[in-house]
Amino acid sequence: MSSAMKIHVHHVTRVEGHGNIVVNASNGKVEKVEWQVPEAPRFFEAMVRGHSYQDIQTIVSRICGICSITHSLAATKAVENALGIEVSEQADAVRILMHYSEQLQSHVLHIGYLAAPDFFGVPSVVPLAAKAGEAVKTVIRLHRLANEWSDLIAGRTTHPVTLTPGGLTRIPTEQQFRDLQQRLKDCVKDLNAVVEVVLSVAGVIPRFERPTEYVSLRQDNPATYTFYHGQIASTDCDGTVPINDWKTVANEYVCDQSTSKWCKWHRDAYAVGALARFNNNADLLSPMAKEVAKRFGLKKGCTNPFMNTVAQLVEVGHVVETSIRMIDGLLTKGLKQEKVKAKPKRAGKASGCVEAPRGILFHEYEFDKKGRCLSADICIPTGQNHANIQKDFEALVPQILHEGQDAVRHKLEMLVRSYDPCISCSTHALEVTFV
């Protein structure tokens, strides 16, 4: 092979947002490996100041189109925590169902449309439709189900409108919940079909391990594979950290090597996302999800970042199975028409946290006693993963350098995609170095 390698992937395709990959090597020696983010900053923390607590989620939902429900939920929880606004048990359960619809939507989008072309060695989902038509149609059906589920509970597929501090403006009828439940039961055969297809190409998932710290929510009481409640947990320590103390976890810092703002906790980087949730909470998965993990040989303690996509597939099984059960719970108790009471009880500052499909997300706001926003701080999963992507690059490139430029480029792009990055989200907290 040639002695010099120069890779500069400008704006990696099939990811949300803009990211660059730079690799320089000569005579088998790596000189430079960098993961860069040139996305236009949008300044949400500055823009929400002065606005009413009722409008915060409407604004910050627009941080991300793919995880808009997640951002709205994190913001709404933070608003409620700060102002002492309470939420009923029923509204809490319906919100979790709303959140699950987005986990399904985002995971199916990532597995089926963004990652699958890598598994099949094609440039996009369009030629994939010709190559594996039935599989693509199955993925589209699941994606449609997830979106119609979001529509039903959130009022819109993207950027929810039923969510409001104190509860929800509207919940589905009993019949609508029953219909949704039936569709979820019916989709299990589609899920199994997707599992079979991914299994058939799982051999192309690179074998690469790097000891990594994994950070996610954990909920002990009742013990739940959580996306919504709980406290912050890590594979590097026992116990949990309260949500309001998230800054002691994220430790955002400026890195001398690249001047990018990164996160670290017990090591030089940590990872968040489906694999992090799996590594912290796998024993709490639903039976169907456990079965999927078993078929892929995915076990707690996995440190192969490429397996994040498989962990998402496992979670798809979990959210579907859990939602079927939760709808039973809601209907058994009987749906109640609830009036939302959401007057601020105090001035205050607090955080809200949920798991975005791509990892743990923190929102923090401060309000005066009229409920006007004074300050905001948002820490996004992809921002937390950037340092870990860089560390993976540094470990992976020397191992695969002999495979040649195209293979190195392809595997690094695949690695970035496996994190399912949401770069638009993360840029409020990032800085960039241009070569």
Partner 1 sequence: MGKPRIAIFDFACCEGCQLQIVNLEEEILDLIGAVDVVEWREALSEQSDTYDVAIIEGSITRPEDEERLKAIRAKAKVLVALGACATTGGVNKLKNNFDLDEVKACVYGPDAGKPHLATARTKAVGEVVLVDACVHGCPIDRQEFTTIVRCLLLGKTPEIPAYPVCVECKARGNPCLWEYGQICLGPIIRAGCGARCPSNGFRCFGCRGYADNPNVEAAQDVIARYGQDVESLKKKMSLFGSQQEPTLS
Binding residues for partner 1, rule: CB under 8 A, are 11, 13-18, 38, 40-43, 45-52, 55, 58-59, 62-66, 68, 109, 113-114, 117, 123-126, 129, 137, 140, 143-144, 147, 155-159, 161-162, 164, 169-170, 254, 259, 261, 424, 428-429, 431-434
Let me know: does 100 contact 323? Beta carbons within 8 Å. Answer: yes
For the chain, the distance separating the N- and C-terminal CA atoms, rounded to the nearest angstrom, is 25
In the bound complex, what is the minimum distance in angstroms from residue 116's beta carbon to partner 1? 12
In the bound complex, what is the minimum distance in angstroms from residue 432's beta carbon to partner 1? 5
In the bound complex, what is the minimum distance in angstroms from residue 291's beta carbon to partner 1? 28
In the bound complex, what is the minimum distance in angstroms from residue 280's beta carbon to partner 1? 28
Q: Give the 3-state DSSP-derived string for the chain, with helices as H, strands as E and coil as C.
A: CCCEEEEEECCCCCCECCCEEEEEEECCEEEEEEEECCCCCCCHHHHCCCCECCCHHHHHHHHCCCCHHHHHHHHHHHHHHHHCCCCCHHHHHHHHHHHHHHHHHHHHHHHHHHHHHHHHCCCCHHHHHHHCHHHHHHHHHHHHHHHHHHHHHHCCCCCCCCEECCEECCCCCHHHHHHHHHHHHHCHHHHHHHHHHHHHCHHHCCCCCCCCEEEEEEEECCEECCCCCCEEEECCEEEEECHHHCHHHHCCEECCCCCCEECCCCCCCEECCHHHHHHHHHHHCCHHHHHHHHHCCCCCCCCCHHHHHHHHHHHHHHHHHHHHHHHHHHHHHCCCCCCCCCCCCCCEEEEEEEEECCEEEEEEEEECCCCEEEEEEEECHHHHHHHHHHHHHHHHHHHHHHHCHHHHHHHHHHHHHHCCCEHHHHHHHCCCCCC
In the bound complex, what is the minimum distance in angstroms from residue 257's beta carbon to partner 1? 15
In the bound complex, what is the minimum distance in angstroms from residue 375's beta carbon to partner 1? 8
In the bound complex, what is the minimum distance in angstroms from residue 124's beta carbon to partner 1? 4
Let me know: does 104 contact 316? Beta carbons within 8 Å. Answer: yes
Per this entry, what is the length of the chain?
435
**C-beta closer to partner 1: residue 119 or 225:** 119
In the bound complex, what is the minimum distance in angstroms from residue 218's beta carbon to partner 1? 29
d(CA 328, CA 308): 30
**C-beta closer to partner 1: residue 138 or 286:** 138
**C-beta closer to partner 1: residue 102 or 315:** 102
In the bound complex, what is the minimum distance in angstroms from residue 240's beta carbon to partner 1? 29
d(CA 92, CA 87): 7
**C-beta closer to partner 1: residue 46 or 223:** 46
**C-beta closer to partner 1: residue 119 or 278:** 119
In the bound complex, what is the minimum distance in angstroms from residue 259's beta carbon to partner 1? 7
**C-beta closer to partner 1: residue 318 or 363:** 363
**C-beta closer to partner 1: residue 141 or 290:** 141
Structure tokens that stand for 373 in this block: 């926003």
Phi and psi, residue 390, nearest 5°: -60, -45
**C-beta closer to partner 1: residue 17 or 317:** 17
In the bound complex, what is the minimum distance in angstroms from residue 65's beta carbon to partner 1? 2
Look at residues 184, 428, 193 and name the one whose alpha carbon lies nearest to residue 286: 184
**C-beta closer to partner 1: residue 154 or 330:** 154
